[in-house]
Structure formats: C-alpha cells, structure tokens
Structure 1
Amino acid sequence: MKELINYVLQFGNLNQQQIDLITSKATELQLQKDAYFSEAGKIARQVGFLVEGVSRVCYYNNKGEEITKYFIEENNLVVDLESFDNEICASAYVQAVTDCKFICFNKKDWQELLNTIVGWDTIVNKIISKALMQKVERRSPLVTEDATERYQKFLRIYANVVNRVPLAYIASYLGITQSSLSRIRKNLK
C-alpha cells in the first residue's frame, strides 16, 4: 500500500485522514500471467495500481492479429479510462504479461474518493496527464524510425520490461515480425 501512497504523494499533498480513507477503499488483486485486468467488449469496472509485474494493453486488428499498444510496469495506474469513466465497452484488453499484484478501487469507492478528498481530482488529473505524455513520447518516434532504431529505443524506454515479456509481444509493439526482431537482436550483439 505504501507504494501507492508514495506514488500519489508525488502529485499532491494528502493528510493522514485522507490517506487512511484511500487505504480503507483499496483491495488487493493478484492476477496470474495471461489473465485480463479488463477486456475489450466489457465495461472497465476498476482502477488499479500495479505493485508487482508487467501488464500490457493490446487489441486485435481487422485481420485478427494481436497488437500490443504499450506495456505498463510497476508503480503506474492501470485503467481503461474512457470505459471506466463513461461506462462504455472497452476497445482494448489489459493483460498481465507476468504474474501481477494490483491495488484496486471499484467505481463506487473511486467516486467516493473523488467526492470526499479535496484535491483528489487534481491529483488524478496530474497522474493521467503524465501517463498520456509518457504514452505519446514512447509511441510517436516509432512511426518515423526503422525497425532497428525502434528496438533500440524500446530497450531504453522499457529497460525494466525487456527481459520480462515474450519476444512476440515486443515484436507486435514494434510493428515487426518475430523473425525480424530475432535478426535485429542478433545483429546488435
């Protein structure tokens, strides 16, 4: 729980009473590797904070191919925000790539935190803004670089993830085949 509180405190101040309320609303969720935190076609019902493990956001394209949009590592919020906030079906899956441990809040408790804690909405908005900026920074260069440059950038951005996820997911994220990725890795050694 302290990981979540330390993370939140980077974005604003909370007193002990507010921290106690957040802690009282939180539940722990253990997900096995390959299980889903939320699924496409269903409404996202919880906000999670990833304490241990790696998860990914993925979807299936019109050819039925699985595409990894991005990875989420420890000390990050995990939520399909549009689905959660607007109670609409999610368009992507959030999947545990490794065994994962989350601290979770259901919709009712999350709403209570927003309604009770002065400044909670500001803290949440700062966290969301940071996550969106990070997502754009990680994705946008991938469009203009060749496959080798994309992989080298992936190694820098996701240094803590690269050895914990299957190569197929990395290849999917980079928009290349697994055999191309194997060639690139071999050439870089």
Structure 2
Amino acid sequence: MKELIEYILQFGNLNEQQIDLITSKATEKELRKDEYFSEAGKIPRQVGFVVDGVVRGCYYNNKGEEITRCFIPENNMAVDYPNFETNSASAEYLQASTNCKLIVFSKQDWDELSHTIVGWDNIRNKMVQKCLYQKSRKSPVISQDATTRYLEFLENYPTLTNRVSLAHIASYLGVTQQSLSRIRKNIR
C-alpha cells in the first residue's frame, strides 16, 4: 500500500485521514500470468495500481492477430480509463504478462473518493493524464525501422526484456519473432 500512497502523493497533498480513507477502499488482487484484469467486450469495473509484475494492453486486429499496445510495469495505473469512466464496453484487454500484484479500487469506491476527499478530482485527473500519456507515448512508431523501434523499447522499458515473452515484444514492435531474434542478435 505504501507504493500506492507514494504514487498518489506525487500529484497532490493529502492528510492522514484522507490517506486512511483511500487505503480502506483499496483491496489487493493477485493475477496469475495470462489472467485478464479487464476484457474486451466488457465494461471495466476497477482501477488497478501495479505493485509487482507487468500488465499489457492488447487487442485483436481485423485479421484476428493479437497486437500488444502497451506494457504497464510496477508503480503505474492499469485501467482502460475512458471506458471505466463512461461505463462502456472496452475494445481491448488488460492482461498479466507476469504474475502480478495489484491494488484495486471498484468503480463505486473510486467515485466515492471524489465525493469525500476535497481535491481528489484534481489528483485523480493528474494520475489519469499520466496513465494515458504513458500508453500513447510508448507505442512504437511504425514508420521507424524495426531496430530503431526495438532500441526505443529498451529505452522505454529497460527492465522488461527478460520479464515478458518475446512474442508480446514482437507484437508490440510490429515484427515477427524471427525478426526480433535477428535484431537482438545484431545488437549484442
């Protein structure tokens, strides 16, 4: 819980009572590798904070191929926020790439914090902006060559190469696993 509170306090100040309220609304959740935190076609019902592990955002394209859109490592929020906020069905999945431990808030508890804590909306909005920015900023630019995309992946996610599957990294980069293996071999 300490990690979550430190994360929240980057975005604003809270007193001890407010922190106690937040922690009372939070629950811990463990996901095994490949389990879903939220699924396409369903309304996201919870906001998560990754304490340990890596969650990935993915979807299926019109050819039925699985595409990894982003990775969400420790100390980041895991949520399909636009659909969570509007109670609408998601178009993508949030799936555990590794065994994960998350701190989770239900929609009702998340909304209750807004009604109870003065200034929570401002803190929440900053957290959501960071979450959305990270998801958009880290998507590879397909116009770059594959080696450049891989080098940027290493820069954006320096700890992930040995933690998530090569298939997911290749999917994120828009290359085949064989191409990724070649790229990795040439870089060493």
TM-score by length of 2: 0.97
Q: Helix, strand or coil for the counterpart of 1:70?
A: strand
How many residue pairs match? The answer is 188
AA of the residue aligned to 1:125: N
Q: Helix, strand or coil for the counterpart of 1:5?
A: helix
Cα deviation 1:86-141 (Å, max 9, x = unaligned): 111110000000000000010111111011101111011111112222233322x6
Q: Which residue of 2 aligns with 1:146?
A: 145
TM-score by length of 1: 0.97
Contact 2:81 2:128 in 1 (8 A): no
Q: What is the root-mean-square deviation in Å for CA atoms of aligned residues?
A: 1.0
Write the distance in 1 (CA, Å) between the matches of 2:93 and 2:37.
8
AA of the residue aligned to 1:150: R
Q: Which residue of 2 aligns with 1:97?
A: 97
AA of the residue aligned to 1:36: Y
AA of the residue aligned to 1:82: P
Q: Which residue of 2 aligns with 1:71?
A: 71
Write the distance in 2 (CA, Å) between the matches of 1:21 and 1:49.
17
Write the distance in 1 (CA, Å) between the matches of 2:13 and 2:148.
40
Write the distance in 2 (CA, Å) between the matches of 1:134 and 1:51.
17
Q: Helix, strand or coil for the counterpart of 1:143?
A: coil
Following TM superposition, the consecutive aligned residue runs of length 4 or more in structure 1 with deviations greater than 3 angstroms are none
Write the distance in 2 (CA, Å) between the matches of 1:75 and 1:30.
15
State the Cα distance separating 1:152 from its structure 2 match. Answer: 0.7
Q: Which residue of 1 aligns with 2:12?
A: 12
Q: Which residue of 1 aligns with 2:160?
A: 161
Write the distance in 1 (CA, Å) between the matches of 2:80 and 2:182.
34
User: Where do 1:1-189 residues align within 5 Å?
Assistant: 1-139=1-139, 142-189=141-188
- Which stretches in structure 2 are left out of the alignment for 5+ residues? none
Write the distance in 2 (CA, Å) between the matches of 1:37 and 1:132.
17
AA of the residue aligned to 2:41: G
AA of the residue aligned to 2:102: F
Write the distance in 1 (CA, Å) between the matches of 2:134 and 2:158.
15
Q: Helix, strand or coil for the counterpart of 1:154?
A: helix
Write the distance in 1 (CA, Å) between the matches of 2:108 and 2:28.
16
Write the distance in 1 (CA, Å) between the matches of 2:130 and 2:29.
24
Write the distance in 2 (CA, Å) between the matches of 1:144 and 1:63.
21
State the Cα distance separating 1:35 from its structure 2 match. Answer: 0.1
Q: Helix, strand or coil for the counterpart of 1:142?
A: coil
